[in-house]
Structure 1
Amino acid sequence: MKAYLFPGQGSQFVGMGKDLYKNSHLAKKLFQLSDEVLGFRMTSIMFEGSMETLKNTIYTQLAIYIYSVIKAKISNNFNPDMVAGHSLGELSALAAIKVFSFEDGLKLVNQRASIMQNICESTHGGMAVIFGLKDSIIEEVCKKDRGIIVPSNYNSPEQLVISGEIQALKRVCFFLKKIGAKKIFILPVHGAFHSPIMEPAKKKFQKIVNKIFFKDSKYPIYQNVTALPVIKSCDIKKNIVKQLTSPVKWKQSIKNMINHGAISFTEIGPGNILQNLMKKISKNYS
């Protein structure tokens, strides 16, 4: 069975999509449609913008969504049995399998990014990747800290991301290093995604989601919140809202996809971050 994976923030690059625009008539139409729907030239930011601009959450999320969905739509081989998307990538996956339209997905991503950006600017949050410690140890250390700090991305057996208040993040990282973390990398983001700090975003995003028409999915999507296959539109909507404050259960999703028959995994989007994580998960799993 074929599984397709859609990446989230972190896989953007300067000039992304330019080759698709030049080489595909359909891609060109969809890029132009993106600019029309958004009301500004997102294509210019993607094709000619600086990395500094692309790193801005509102542009990053839109760029990755547009690139990933267009890549799926122009592919002759996109014929999934199941899909999954990492964080923002969940919205790309849903548009690719036509749970909602490309245009509605643009509106969702634009509003999601804007809401998250506003929270980032009004709070002091951050994220860090922890390598080489068991999940249970990291979870326990986070739980014991007096601040807001939680596991936010279960990326692979060797890698767990934590998210929360800056001071809590510093304390926890210092202690985890002391007790044996092989490596700790502070992510270049200005927010605590997938943590309770994003709670104010949920009600606002829920209102946006309620205005969009969702269809039941033809293919199971393994959503971040549960790591389980979902088809019903009501469940999909509930999970993409809950995702804002819940951890991304990525390695659990991949394991479940393997258990349910996936033998081929293809990443649809810029870069190969998920392919690299996939190798680590499947190696550990086998």
Structure 2
Amino acid sequence: MKAYVFPGQGSQFRGMGQDLYQQSDTARQLFEQANQVLGYSLTSIMFDGSDDDLKQTIYTQPAVFLHGVVLALTNESFASGRSDVSMVAGHSLGELSALTAAGVLSFEDGLRLASIRATAMQRACELAKSTMAAVLGLADDVIERICSEITDEIVVPANYNCPGQVVISGSVAGIQLAEERLKAAGAKRVVPLAVSGAFHSPFMEPARTEFAEAVDNMLFSTPRCPVYQNVNAQPTTNPQQIKANLIAQLTSPVRWTQSVERMVADGATEFYECGPGKVLQGLIRKISPATPVAGI
């Protein structure tokens, strides 16, 4: 059984999608449609913008969304509904790409939500100084315990990326305090991330509220295959449950390790990353080494 997976913020690169634009009429039409929906030339930023431009959340999220969805929708069998893809999932922002590719959202609505999500998260980041860090070489339960013991600052697990790699999210002081304790507990490294704020943490509550209003006003359809959502790593097909999980994701951890494990348990025999870069391919090889994985 094939599984399509869609990456999130951090997988972008200058020139992303330009080959698709040049080689496929369908892709070119979708890219130009995206520019019209957004009201600015996202393709110019993707193809010719600076690295700094692409690092801005307001551009990064729509760009990564667009690249992944165009890859899926230019796959004729997938777009026509005759695909043998049996399940989809996306990492953080990538969940919107997965939902759109699976037919839950129209292309236009998925893109609008990606843009709204990005803007809301950027606003939330500007309200308080917060950050994230990757913890390497320490068991999940130890990281969870140490975060829970820090009560005078906010610090929480944000991304369960693969065994031995968990990203934590919180206040600058909270992350610094957690770093000391995590290293003392045996973490190989604690690596600060170059992000604008504490994603998937209580700091994103203002963004969650703003995003929820937009999601509630969008039409969500039944997906053509189960979507494994970040908040619970469970297959979901009910549109209302998908909405609730998508909203909750902004302040909840991304359970990527658990999602891939569940997909394999449910019969996934090969994974295909649909989007820029190879981040998810690397993570899946660590989560399920025996399962083939490739890029689209």
Question: Do the two structures share a fold, i.e. TM-score over 0.5?
Answer: yes
TM-score category by the smaller chain?
over 0.9
Matched, 1:48 2:53: no
Which stretch of structure 1 is more off in the superposition, 126-135 or 74-83? 74-83
Structure-1 separation of matches of 2:261 and 2:146: 25
**Secondary structure, aligned partner of 1:185:** strand
Aligned to 1:158: 164
Structure-2 separation of matches of 1:211 and 1:86: 23
Aligned to 1:10: 10
- Which segments of 5 or more consecutive residues in structure 2 lack a partner in the other structure? 292-296
- Contact map agreement 1:223 1:229 (CA 8 A) in 2: yes
- Contact map agreement 1:157 1:284 (CA 8 A) in 2: no
Tell me the number of residue pairs that the alignment of Structure 1 and Structure 2 aligns: 285
Pick aligned residue for 1:190 from 186, 196, 200 = 196
> Within 5 Å, which residues of 2 pair with 1:1-286?
1-76=1-76, 78=78, 79=83, 80-145=85-150, 146-283=152-289
Structure-2 separation of matches of 1:262 and 1:121: 40
Structure-1 separation of matches of 2:290 and 2:146: 24
**Secondary structure, aligned partner of 1:244:** helix
- Contact map agreement 1:217 1:231 (CA 8 A) in 2: yes
Runs of 4+ with >3 A deviation: none
Structure-2 separation of matches of 1:88 and 1:220: 17
Structure-1 separation of matches of 2:64 and 2:136: 26
The percent identity for this pair of structures is 51
Structure-2 separation of matches of 1:108 and 1:178: 41
Provide, for residues 192-246 of structure 1, a one-character-per-residue CA deviation record: whole Å limited to 9, x for no partner. 0000111122221111011111101120000000100000100000000000000
Structure-1 separation of matches of 2:132 and 2:105: 30
Aligned to 2:294: none
- Contact map agreement 1:216 1:233 (CA 8 A) in 2: yes
Structure-2 separation of matches of 1:77 and 1:160: 36
- Contact map agreement 1:194 1:248 (CA 8 A) in 2: yes
Structure-1 separation of matches of 2:145 and 2:185: 13
Q: CA RMSD in A?
A: 1.2
- Contact map agreement 2:103 2:222 (CA 8 A) in 1: no
Task: Quote how far apart the aligned CAs of 1:179 are.
Answer: 2.3
Task: Quote how far apart the aligned CAs of 1:178 are.
Answer: 2.4
- Contact map agreement 1:81 1:220 (CA 8 A) in 2: yes
* Structure-2-length-normalised TM-score: 0.94
